[in-house]
Structure 1
Amino acid sequence: MADLPEWTIKGELILNCNCTVFCPCVVSLGAHPPTEGYCQAWSGIRIDKGQYGDTDLSGLNVGLVLDIPGMMGRGNWKAAAYIDERSSDEAYDALVKIFSGAAKGTTGLFSMLVSEFMGAERAPVEFTTEGKARRLMVGKTIQGEIVPVEGNDPDQDIVVSNTGYWMGPDITIATATKGKVRAYGRVWDFSGRSAEICQIDWKGPGR
């Protein structure tokens, strides 16, 4: 790890998967199977502030596609990354290292769990917020929108707090109003299914 640059990412992550109710992996830490027995998901990351060594990552977005055949902790994931087309060559390379797990740290588990990194490519990755809705648009590849599930007090989100989940300790329970994926031979629609929102503070190569 002494040869790897220090890196940090602070921002927000959204995710929509095929689970019919809130993702059991958040509280079971991957020890409980997804509600359908397997996990298919798309995710978006908005980087508010980030750096990889001397390379600035602030203001960039990333989209992910994940295909997991069973319990998350058993591995054999397939994953693909879509890197903001506004990224410099240095930022692109840094984000590929981070999201493939090669940069170690918070996302280092990807290098252990992902058996097939299907690819990374530049794309128009748009992560926008309107009211409480979050939208991720990656051309025609990912078209998603999620909203928090409304609680007893509509002004307060329903949050699972103080978890050991790798993404972050506090996960807002959400649902997808749109969740379409067309990538690597996969055609998915997870509209109306489980979603989550997480404020992220990741770093590497140590944790």
Structure 2
Amino acid sequence: MASDRLEVPEKIDSRHPAAERKDPGLTPWAIKGELVLNCNCTVFCPCVVSLGKHAPTEGHCQTWGGVRIDSGHYGDEDLSGLNIGLLIEIPGMMSRGNWKAAVFIDDRASHAAYEALVKIFSGQARGTTGLFSVLVGEFLGAERQPVSYVNDGKNRHITVGKKIQGTVFPVEGKDKDQEVVITNTEYWMGPDITVATASKGRVRAFGRVWDFEGRSAEICQIDWHGPK
């Protein structure tokens, strides 16, 4: 029986063979700065040292975060000086996936920077954050918001419009002048994680109403890049 599908000729590429082919998934990018997370774990998050092989202390993970980009780019687009808010929900062990996630992009970002940051924080840009494209089963969305990230020397104050209000600070060790740091980990966000807690951690976004005051937090210097 003859098929009634029309054979469409392959689109002709008239560009010179040496011309650059731009693939959005291959655009070089990099971000350096600081990240904080505050989750519902009652003690320091087990995911850091177990690499997601140990369940969160409450059996599931609810997390908000903030990222301060000190320097960064996506291709030729400068990302330096922008801030990001995050919301992540994980039903069990981190490594088993089925995450839900949302990202809040600094409202100072240009259109190109906004699009670039959505690609980076959804995993589309591959590289360090590429695992999001594997582990996140539902991307709740991206929104422009006024995102403030202030470090007063100890406390990190993060505000994402009316969605997130948080303050995170390092826990004290024996030497009050030294932070308690878990070093040389294989944690994807960064190898050295400062143990912290939250004095404020309120979320009102995407139907979530959370308050993680006094719960686990992390502070991490980040050096992320892609696409490899």
**Would you call these one fold, judging by a TM-score over 0.5?**
yes
Q: Which one scores higher on RCO, CA 8 angstroms, separation ≥ 6? A: 1
What's the TM-score, normalizing by structure 1?
Answer: 0.98
Residue aligning to 1:80: 102
**How far off is 1:139 after superposition?**
1.3
| Aligned partner letter, 2:201 | G
C-alpha contact (below 8 Å) 2:29/2:226 kept by paired residues: yes
Residue 181 of structure 2, aligned match among 159, 163, 166? 159
Residue aligning to 1:180: 202
5+ long unaligned stretches in structure 1 = none
**How far off is 1:48 after superposition?**
0.1
Identity of aligned residues (%): 70
Q: Deviations over 1:86-117 (max 9, x none)?
A: 00000000000000000000000000000000
Q: CA 1:147/1:103 → structure 2, altered by over 3 Å: closer, same or farther?
A: same
Q: CA 1:2/1:66 → structure 2, altered by over 3 Å: closer, same or farther?
A: closer
**How far off is 1:2 after superposition?**
8.8
Q: Report whether the alignment pairs 1:24 with 2:24.
A: no
Residue aligning to 1:120: 142
Pairs within 5 Å for 1:31-50: 31-50=53-72
Q: Report whether the alignment pairs 1:97 with 2:119.
A: yes
5+ long unaligned stretches in structure 2 = 1-22
Pairs within 5 Å for 1:38-77: 38-77=60-99
Q: Deviations over 1:61-92 (max 9, x none)?
A: 00000011000000000000000000000000
Runs of 4+ in 1 over 4 A off after TM superposition: none
In terms of fraction of residues, the more strand-rich structure is: 1
CA distance in 2, matches of 1:171, 1:71: 19
C-alpha contact (below 8 Å) 2:101/2:138 kept by paired residues: yes
Residue 145 of structure 1, aligned match among 145, 152, 167? 167
C-alpha contact (below 8 Å) 2:61/2:92 kept by paired residues: yes
Q: Greater CA radius of gyration, 1 or 2?
A: 2
CA distance in 1, matches of 2:100, 2:155: 28
Q: CA 1:69/1:171 → structure 2, altered by over 3 Å: closer, same or farther?
A: same
Q: Deviations over 1:1-34 (max 9, x none)?
A: 7951100000000000000000000000000000
Q: CA 1:132/1:52 → structure 2, altered by over 3 Å: closer, same or farther?
A: same
CA distance in 2, matches of 1:7, 1:188: 33
Q: CA 1:151/1:88 → structure 2, altered by over 3 Å: closer, same or farther?
A: same
Q: Deviations over 1:161-203 (max 9, x none)?
A: 0000000000000000000000111100000000000000000
The secondary structure found in structure 2 opposite 1:201 is strand
| Aligned partner letter, 2:161 | G
CA distance in 2, matches of 1:146, 1:39: 18
Residue 4 of structure 1, aligned match among 26, 32, 53? 26
The secondary structure found in structure 2 opposite 1:150 is coil
The secondary structure found in structure 2 opposite 1:146 is strand
- The Cα RMSD (Å) is 0.9
